[in-house]
Chain A
Amino acid sequence: MHSGGSSLRRSLAVQLRVIGALLMREVITRYGRHNIGFFWLFVEPMIFTMGVAALWSALQATHGVRIPIVAFAVTGYSSVLLWRNMPNRLVGAVGPNLALMYHRNVKVIDVYAARLALEAVGATISFVALACFFTAMGWMQAPEDVGKVLIAWILLAWFGAGLALFVGALSERTEIIEKVWAPITYLMFPLSGAAFMVDWLPPSVQGAVYYLPMIHGVELLREGYFGSAVRAHYDLAYMTSCCLGLTLLGLLQERHISRRIAPE
């Protein structure tokens, strides 16, 4: 630690160091050192996704459309985990870390960044590992357009991070958020595009679900995966604008709370 002349470069180095330290802290407190420890980071979402894939396979949830049900479940549920777990982890994230903010360089945004990074990494490893495993088993095909899958994944992660920043910071201002967030995520799941494609819906409903930003990400992901086998509907400009808006709102809220934070 050096005083004075805090150039951007040095600040950046400090911030990366702090986020790294917080990452290690998160891993230890969340997963501990017992049994498989840090592997829970992606084993947990993998178990969820596999359960959903098994359930949907049994129920034949694709209504006879010609895309493989396992691949449909893996792409759908993985994207839900990606954007939904980030807000869940940031709601009330300040409290358990308040003592650490006695150290000047540990800021709310660092705590958020560490938790977001961890969620993104966990969901991504889970998705990639499952896709590889099911492809090897012959239950899933390799994606037709990896580039589209990648862009869709990044957009979904961005949406999750923006939403998480906004909801997480708001939750520090009012307890109502913590109470209503669980039912909201629960209700968003069936609308998120994980379990259907927009094309299957009646046109009147299609217009309504277009307002949900994550729909566009999931549609692009599915197009990247299944190519011509599906007809995807998405508007990337709309999704990007939503992500950008949420991120800005989130950062504003974060700024508001971090100026008022008081370590006990």
Chain B
Amino acid sequence: MIELIDVVKNYPMRQGMRTVLDRVNLRIAPGEKLGILGRNGAGKSTLIRLISGAESVSTGRIHRGMTVSWPLAFSGAFQGALTGMDNLRFVCRIYGIDIANAIPQVREFSELGDYLDEPVKNYSSGMMARLGFALSMAVEFDCFLIDEVIAVGDSRFHEKCNIELFEKRRDRAMIIVSHQPENIVNHCDRAAVLHNGCLRSFDDVAQAFDFYQNVG
């Protein structure tokens, strides 16, 4: 179970404090798939980063009763000066994963070939996405945080990711953030809408969409 209790997040801006998230409450049970809808700048990515623990809440509390992935934006979380392989080793070290096991898996899945030994900053966005996805599949989590479902990569890679994430790992919890309705409809059991800093949960994805369309 992951639980957010009265989570508030403020950012200092030139005009003063800006409240991006205002007393957000949320629960995610093991295996549950939650979609989060919201306009650009509504705070979706902020919410994901708070749940992942990459950022700290201003007030409130987040309880993580299961292992939570880093936000799979499929590009961030890498050091540009390091090679793909170095990034792989780094991730393995911080999560305590056996490097020897992970290498063939990532090599095969990412299809990066010799580029694995090149600095990540020389990668195209598609290559970055492939590395990012392959890496996140090397570490097993109870809950995956997905920021904009597989926005990059060609359709074949797209398909591969879908199988890996939504079929092979369908028993895991997932929080998917998107402004594209079909992603949420296809993969989520329920959805919540982020609007004006408040999160409204709906038991039904269709209801969430109605609300989303109306407030927009």
Contacts and interface: CB of A to CB of B under 8 A. Distances in A.
* Interface range on chain B (Cβ under 8 Å from partner): 20 to 34
Max chain B C-beta neighbours (<10 A), residue from A3, A14, A102? A102
Interface in A1-48: 1-4, 14, 17-18, 20-21, 24-25, 28-29
Nearest to B92: A21
Given A3-B67, A99-B79, A105 B49 contact: no
Contacts of A21: 89-90, 93-94
Interface string B84-126: 0010011101111000000000000000000000000000000
Interface of B is mostly: loop
Interface string A97-119: 10111111110000000000000
A175 to B, nearest CB: 15
A3 B3 CA distance: 14
A63 to B, nearest CB: 47
B144 interface: no
A262 interface: yes
A218 to B, nearest CB: 36
Contacts of B55: 261-263
Contacts of A18: 93-94
B37 to A, nearest CB: 22
Contact of A3 (B78, B139, B142): B142
A24 B93 contact: yes
Contact of B82 (A3, A20, A28): A28
Contacts of B81: 29, 96
Contact of A1 (B49, B54, B82, B95): B95
B67 A2 contact: yes
B93 A20 contact: yes
Interface string A219-234: 0000000000000000
A28 B86 contact: yes
Contacts of A102: 49, 52, 54, 70-71, 76-77
Given A1-B67, A3-B64, A261-B55, A29 B94 contact: no
A262 B11 CA distance: 10
Contacts, number: 82
A20 to B, nearest CB: 6
A102 B76 CA distance: 7
B198 interface: no
The A contact surface, by secondary structure, is helix
B79 A101 contact: no
Contacts of A28: 82, 86
A259 interface: yes
Interface residues of A, number: 30
Contacts of B71: 102
A20 B94 CA distance: 8
B66 interface: yes
Contacts of A96: 79, 81
B68 interface: yes
Contacts of A260: 56
B177 to A, nearest CB: 15
Contacts of B54: 101-104, 263
Given A96-B79, A99-B78, A263-B76, A104 B70 contact: yes
Contacts of B56: 258-261
Interface in A246-264: 258-264
Contacts of B67: 1-3
A3 B54 CA distance: 16
Contacts of A258: 56
B65 interface: yes
A3 B141 CA distance: 10
Nearest to A28: B86
Contacts of A262: 11, 49, 55
Interface of B: 11, 49, 52-56, 64-68, 70-71, 76-82, 86, 89-91, 93-96, 139, 141-142
Given A2-B67, A14-B96, A28-B82, 14 more contacts: A1-B95, A3-B65, A17-B94, A24-B89, A24-B90, A99-B80, A100-B79, A102-B76, A103-B77, A104-B53, A258-B56, A262-B11, A263-B55, A263-B77
